[in-house]
Chain A
Amino acid sequence: MFHWLEKNPFAFALGVFITIAFAGLVEIVPNFAESARPLVGTTPYSTLELAGRHVYINNSCNACHSQLIRPFKSETDRYGHYSLSGEYAFDRPFLWGSKRTGPDLLRVGNYRTTDWHEHHMKDPAGVVPGSIMPAYKWMYKNETDIDTAYAEQLTVASFFKTPYTFTKDIGTENARMIPMKDGSTTYIEMGDTLEDAKRLALAEAKLIVADMKDEDVKDAVSKGKIPEIVAIIAYMNSLK
């Protein structure tokens, strides 16, 4: 049988393909729909948070930081409750990482503050002596790309039915209400237009900057510009 296969390239290739495709079908398909369901209380990212998530990805923070807490006492002691599948429902892409050169960040918003991040990103070893994390000073100068974050919100809202609510739909039946743990519901606002989205992001940035000390960053925000550091802090603070 095998000698025959080795003389018939097409049958051989077909045989190989069936053999390799098999495992993927069995392992991936069965739980696919179920695993994508959000938990009660899991909300999609705001425009500024999503822009911050892009800053996180652009700088490959995930190369050194995980976002996955395993169900061991040592991990829950250090980082908080272990990960649940539904928490990640709005994460496109997932950012679990594969290496912890630095600590896990899945719930960093619970125990680090805006102020802490501001100093740490500028001089990690100054805040945590012995740290080998590089400084990210360009984030204090580079402007955040709100456009792409908004484009992504529009895309996931239309393509994946991610529950975002346009400003114009708030209070109407078109609002996408999200159930919360305490029984209430909430919505995540998304600008009707790009200009609205920028206005919303700036309003959120102003709340963050109120807790910051860097004069240049404060200055930029007061002029309507959002440096990347503000966006990434918004994202860090949202990780809970």
Chain B
Amino acid sequence: MVDRPLEYDYTIAKLFMMNAIFVGIVGMFVGVLIAWQMAYPGLNTFLGEGLAEYTNFSRLRVLHTDSVIYGFVLSSVWSTWYFVGQRVLKVSMAESKTLMMIGYLHFWIYFAASAVIVVSLLMGITTSKEYAEFEWPLDLGITVIWLLWGASIAGLVGMRREKTLYVSIWYYVATFLAVAMLHLFNNLEVPTYFLSGGIGAWYHSVSMYSGTNDALVQWWFGHNAVAFVLTTPIVAIIYYFLPKESGQAIYSYKLSLLSFWGLMFVYLWAGGHHVLYSTVPDWVQTMGSIFSIVLILPSWGSAINMLLTMKGEWQQVASSPIIKFMILGSTFYMFSTLEGPIQAIKSVNAIAHFTDWIVGHVHDGALGWVGFTIVAAIYHMAPRFFKREIYSKSLMATQFWIQTLGIVLYFTSMWIAGITQGMMWRAHDEYGNLAYSFIDTVTVLHPYFTLRAVGGTLYLIGFIMFAYNIYKTTSAREIDESELQNASPMGA
């Protein structure tokens, strides 16, 4: 028993990976489409007037954000959970029928709910709250899905042979707890059908909070959904895959500790920076602003820990495309977590808020940090899922450069667009009148919208190359079994 390596069961991990790639393509395609719609509004009716309602920017925009965040990213996170969880806790899913059943339920309920969500968003069924657009029946479904994941975490942790929880597990657990809390409190809503004695749409609800309070709760949620779906699980991923792939131990345990607890404490405060100069209490705005700056410390702590893990092994960045993805991902994480706090400074926010600079900020984090780290993780997992070599290394490298170019075009164009628009909105002429009408500040953005759409298209092309590469990997050359399966993530 002691010497026999565990046979890990990757069935669930594979299902989530395939879903991630599929939804990734769909979600990014919709993103590219709406980017082109902003540059060329005629594309709002690209399937004709009859279907205009369903091809319109405003309907597709939610589909884009929700499908990439909760479709692509969450699927990827769960794929890595069902891979990393077994390996760092030293238990196999195959050891427990219950755990396998939970895994299957987790995937299939999630898959079914995703399909319902796509249809309902296209039909315009939405609560309007960003990243929490789902009406109450779907919110209940999401709760079930989330609890199933919780059961999987509890099960694997409960059965573990390795007593000490590895850093990645800390981050997965934090993700689970925080999103559970955020989801429950932000989605408190009253179904109107039941309180009115059965009138109107059965799925309709009204928010438990009103006006300013609703905004405060929503952006406490909105900001931290970003934190706990697009940051903490991605940190979990890179803490496992970077040491594994590079063969280097994590640079500093103390830095991991400091970053983890720092991030846990500070992140939740920063939501107030979404409502600066609004009607929420001034002190909440100031707290949001200050804690956003403090947030640089734990964020950079993780990122620097990753970069220093490569100490003495930097040639791998040149030789391995997977390392390239992860190192540039971490670099984008540093960039994005510096840019965010700058935008959260009140005087900067006065210009940046409501503009495309914010959209640019989200995307250098999402495309650079989240997207690249996930791509690297899947490239690491696929050979182990299928026991095959990656189909083409040169395709990986080409993908890397095309996507990097895409990201650079995206955020530079949105920087310029955002600051241009922010400055034009506030410009006064020598008599103290507004210098520009609103439409002037829209038409001026056309070149930047076009450039952004080109950048997004490049990223999508790279992603399709990625999907093709993984698809071909399933039938590529078989791997020779030499990997030590029960090595610790620190020492492999």
Residue in A2, A66, A87, A152 with the greatest tally of chain B CB atoms within 10 Å:
A152
Most buried by B among A61, A85, A131: A85
**Contacts A22-B268, A148-B204; is A60 near B214 (CB within 8 Å)?**
no
Contact of B477 with A by CB under 8 A: no
Interface digits, A89-129 against B, CB 8 Å rule (1 contact, 0 not)?
11111111111111100000000000000000000010011
* A219 and B177 alpha carbons, distance in the complex (Å): 55
A93 to B207, Cβ gap below 8 A? Answer: yes
Q: Which residue of A lies closest to B443 (CB)?
A: A130
CB–CB A72/B350 < 8 A: yes
| Distance of A33 Cα from B359 Cα, bound (Å) | 33
Contact check, A9 vs B57: say whether CB atoms are below 8 A apart.
Answer: no
The docked-state distance in angstroms from the alpha carbon of A38 to that of B137 is: 30
Q: Which residues of B contact A35 (CB under 8 A)?
A: 211-213, 216, 279-281
Known contacts: A12-B173, A131-B442, A148-B201. The answer to whether A23 contacts B269 by CB under 8 A is yes
Residues of A at under 8 Å CB distance from B?
2-3, 6-7, 9, 12-13, 16-17, 19-24, 27-28, 30-32, 35-36, 57-64, 66, 68, 70-75, 77-78, 83-103, 125, 128-138, 145, 147-152, 154-156, 158-160, 194
Indicate if the CB atoms of A24 and B200 lie closer than 8 Å: no
Question: Which are the 9 A-B pairs with shortest beta-carbon distances?
Answer: A88-B211, A148-B200, A58-B124, A151-B200, A23-B268, A134-B44, A151-B196, A85-B279, A147-B200
Complex CA gap A32/B354 in Å reads 25
Q: How far is the CB of B377 from chain A (nearest CB, A)?
A: 23
Cβ of B446 to closest chain A Cβ, rounded Å: 8
Q: Determine how close the nearest CB of chain A comes to the CB of B138; give it in whole angstroms.
A: 16
A88 to B354 CA separation, bound complex (whole angstroms): 19
The answer on a CB contact under 8 Å between A89 and B190 is no
CB contact under 8 A between A194 and B199, given known A59-B59, A92-B209, A98-B274? yes
Q: How far is the CA of A16 from the CA of B277 in the complex (A)?
A: 31
The minimal Cβ–Cβ distance linking A25 to chain B, given in whole angstroms, is: 10
The reply to whether B165 and A92 contact each other, CB–CB distance below 8 Å, is no
Closest to A154 in B: B196
Whole-angstrom distance between the alpha carbons of A62 and B127 in the complex? 11
Contact in complex: A155, B206 (CB < 8 Å): yes
Given the complex, which residues of B lie within 8 Å of A2, measured CB to CB?
A: 257
A59–B358 Cα distance when bound, in Å, is: 22
When distances are taken between beta carbons in the complex, the residues of chain A under 8 Å from B58 are: 59-61, 63-64, 134
8 A Cβ contacts from B219-272 to A:
220, 257, 261, 264-265, 267-269, 271-272
* B204 adjacent to A152 (CB under 8 Å): yes
Contacts of A154 in B (CB 8 A): 192, 195-197, 199
Q: Establish whether residues B279 and A83, one from each chain, have CB atoms under 8 Å apart when the complex forms.
A: yes
Smallest CB gap from A97: residue in B? B354
> Would you call A91 and B443 a contact (CB within 8 A)?
no
Given contacts A21-B181, A35-B216, A94-B212, contact A134 B37 (CB under 8 A): yes
Give the docked Cα–Cα distance between A72 and B276 (Å). 12
B128 contacts which chain A residues (CB < 8 A)? 57, 60, 62, 93, 95
Interface contact B210-A94, CB-CB below 8 Å: yes
In the assembled complex, the Cα of A77 lies from the Cα of B437 at a distance in Å of 11
Known interface pairs A98-B358, A151-B199, A159-B190; A16-B173 also in contact (CB < 8 Å)? yes
Q: Determine the chain A residues whose CB is within 8 A of the CB of B206 once the complex forms.
A: 92-93, 152, 155-156
What are the residues of chain A within 8 A of B358 when measuring CB–CB?
A: 98-99
**Total count of chain B residues near the partner, CB < 8 A:** 93
Question: B170 in the interface, Cβ–Cβ < 8 Å?
Answer: yes
User: What residues of chain A lie closer than 8 Å to B49, measured between beta carbons?
Assistant: 137
Q: Does B125 contact A (CB under 8 A)?
A: yes
B215 within 8 A of A: yes
Q: Known interface pairs A72-B350, A154-B195. Does A92 touch B210 (Cβ–Cβ under 8 Å)?
A: yes
Nearest B residue (CB) for A197 = B199
Contact partner of A91 (CB less than 8 A), chosen from B214, B272, B274, is B214
Extra contacts besides A70-B353, A96-B215, A131-B41 (16): CB < 8 Å: A6-B164, A16-B264, A22-B265, A23-B291, A24-B268, A31-B280, A58-B126, A59-B124, A74-B428, A86-B211, A94-B207, A94-B211, A132-B442, A134-B44, A135-B52, A151-B196
Among B422-443, those with CB < 8 Å from A are: 425-428, 433-434, 438-439, 442-443
Structural contact, A151 and B281, CB atoms closer than 8 A: no
Q: Is B56 among interface residues, defined by CB-CB distance under 8 A?
A: yes
Question: Roughly how many angstroms separate A93 CA and B428 CA in the complex, as a whole number?
Answer: 34
- In the complex, chain A residues whose CB is within 8 Å of the CB of B173: 9, 12-13, 16
Q: Are A7 and B165 in contact (CB under 8 A)?
A: yes
Q: Measured between alpha carbons, how far is A136 from B199 in the docked complex, in Å?
A: 27
B352-381: which have CB < 8 Å to A?
A: 353-356, 358-359
Contact of B41 among A7, A13, A36, A134 (CB under 8 A): A134
A64 to B216, CA, bound (A): 20
Specify the chain A residue showing the minimal Cβ separation from B204: A148
Q: Which residue of chain B is the closest to A73 with respect to CB atoms?
A: B428
Q: How far is the CA of A23 from the CA of B219 in the complex (A)?
A: 13
Closest to A150 in B: B199
Q: Please, which residue of chain B has its CB at the minimum distance from the CB of A83?
A: B279
| Bound Cα distance from A31 to B285, whole angstroms | 13
Contacts of A151 in B (CB 8 A): 192-193, 195-196, 199-201, 204
Interface readout for B164-191 with A: 1 if CB under 8 Å, 0 if not?
A: 1100001001100110010001000010
Contact at A94–B215, with CB atoms within 8 Å?
Answer: yes
5 A-B Cβ contacts within 8 A?
A27-B287, A31-B284, A60-B61, A72-B350, A100-B354
